[in-house]
């Protein structure tokens, strides 16, 4: 177990801090990466009360989480009412994992003691634009979240996404499923559609059944891929993340991009083959404390071209993804499964 020993005047003192607010407004992956910190705080003192503030579309991520007492949702239209509710809770501590303009406004209004996440924006800027890597030995994001709270003892568990007792799977238990999640918010983080199709056909030849996962913004892509893969099961939905996770947990492995669904798959404890294009491991957004392999092109000096992703390849060749062929991915997946 990894223990942080930095106890001092500004450290987390759970004997005094009885009520805590966690701010992480978005997005899917970033919020899921906060769950080890939340669990570790609660395990350090069961009597501590933890609330979470996030955007409304992500509230289901904590719907069944036993470590959270109250879920607050951020909405510009009811901002004043939100601040009134937060102030009524009389927080002893605010942990700001968003650390942007919106969260700064909220912190000022609440006036509690605050710990804030260090985004290391300058280091990311230098790596993207000058390819000078000061993040080489940087911890993964969950540990960096925890490092923002001196005195917190982090456990060795993975990401949490608690599901309802009454399951709503669409798949038959113990069948031979491989899941693919081909979508992403940014083009340069997406493996080629044709590659997902070709790899899926290779896996079908081996007797696997292909299940396609995605959210509301992925519907057209998932439908196109499903139409090219005879017998595939298209479970793309309207961002029903709990249902997606229930079905992901029944797969032998998940093949995905560097995306929110990669982190959702991490909560399911299934093996993950994650394909990284414009992004790199040093940013810290890897599958956390689960079995995985990363497929990436380390022969290019133009990676990373962004720390979030771009709408097109700046060099116009997109070799970070094009040179990662279905054959290479197939071999990596076999290695992962074995």
Q: What angle do CA 45, 46, 50 make, to 5 degrees?
A: 90
**Domain 19-147 adopts which CATH fold?**
Rossmann fold (3.40.50)
What does the mean pLDDT of the chain come to?
Answer: 93
Q: Write the burial class of residue 274 (CB in 10 Å: 0-12 exposed, 13-18 middle, 19+ buried).
A: buried
User: What's the pLDDT score for residue 76?
Assistant: 82
Q: Which residues contact 116 (CB under 8 A, 6 or more apart)?
A: 95, 96, 99, 107, 148
| Model pLDDT for residues 24-49, shown as the tens digit of each residue | 999 999 999 999 999 999 999 999 99
As a whole number, mean pLDDT of residues 271-293 equals 97
Helices (H) and strands (E) counted in the chain, each on its own, are: 12, 11
CATH 3.40.50.2000 fits 177-337, yes or no: yes
Question: Residue 126: how many CB atoms within 10 A of its CB?
Answer: 15
The tokens of 244 are what? 């997606």
Residue of 75 and 143 predicted with greater confidence? 143
- Of the chain, the percentage scoring pLDDT greater than 90 comes to 87
Supply the pTM of this predicted model. Answer: 0.94
Comparing CA positions, the residue from 315, 169, 336, 298 lying closest to residue 243 is 169
The tokens of 45 are what? 């003192």
Q: Are strands 292-296 and 93-96 parallel, antiparallel or unpaired?
A: unpaired
The partner residues of 23 in beta bridges, in order of sequence, read 53, 96
User: What's the pLDDT score for residue 167?
Assistant: 72
Question: Residue 271: how many CB atoms within 10 A of its CB?
Answer: 20
| Model pLDDT for residues 157-187, shown as the tens digit of each residue | 999 999 998 777 799 988 899 999 999 999 9
Distance between CA atoms of 312 and 3, rounded to whole angstroms? Answer: 42
Question: Residue 302: how many CB atoms within 10 A of its CB?
Answer: 14
Domain with CATH 3.40.50.2000 in the chain: 19-147, 177-337
The number of CA neighbours under 13 Å toward the Cβ of 272 is 28
């Amino acid at each position: 177990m990894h223990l942080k020993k930095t106890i001092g005047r500004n450290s987390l003192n759970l004997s005094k801090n009885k009520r805590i607010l966690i701010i992480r407004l978005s997005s899917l992956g970033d919020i899921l990466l906060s769950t080890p910190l939340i669990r570790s705080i609660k395990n350090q003192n069961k009597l501590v009360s933890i609330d979470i503030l996030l955007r409304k579309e992500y509230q289901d991520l904590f719907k069944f989480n036993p470590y959270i007492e109250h879920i607050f949702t951020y909405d510009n239209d009811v901002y004043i009412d939100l601040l009134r509710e937060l102030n009524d809770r009389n927080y002893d501590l605010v942990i700001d994992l968003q650390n942007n303009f919106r969260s700064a406004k909220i912190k000022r209004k609440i006036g509690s003691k605050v710990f804030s996440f260090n985004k290391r924006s300058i280091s990311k800027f230098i790596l993207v634009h000058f390819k000078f890597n000061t993040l080489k030995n940087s911890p993964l994001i969950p540990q960096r979240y925890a490092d923002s709270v001196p005195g917190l003892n982090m456990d060795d568990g993975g990401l949490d996404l608690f599901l309802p007792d009454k399951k709503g799977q669409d798949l038959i238990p113990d069948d031979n499923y491989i899941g693919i999640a081909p979508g992403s918010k940014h083009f340069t983080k997406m493996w080629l559609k044709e590659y997902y199709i070709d790899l899926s056909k290779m896996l079908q030849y081996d007797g696997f059944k292909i299940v396609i996962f995605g959210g509301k913004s992925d519907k057209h892509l998932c439908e196109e891929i499903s139409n090219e893969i005879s017998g595939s099961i298209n479970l793309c939905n309207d961002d029903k993340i709990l249902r997606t996770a229930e079905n992901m947990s029944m797969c032998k492995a998940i093949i995905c991009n560097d995306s929110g669904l990669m982190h959702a798959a991490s909560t399911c404890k299934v093996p993950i083959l994650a394909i990284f294009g414009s992004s790199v491991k040093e940013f810290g957004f890897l599958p956390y404390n689960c079995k995985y392999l990363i497929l990436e092109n380390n022969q290019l000096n133009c990676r990373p071209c962004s720390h979030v992703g771009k709408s097109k390849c700046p060099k116009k060749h997109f070799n970070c993804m094009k040179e990662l062929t279905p054959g290479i991915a197939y071999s990596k997946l076999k290695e992962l499964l074995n």
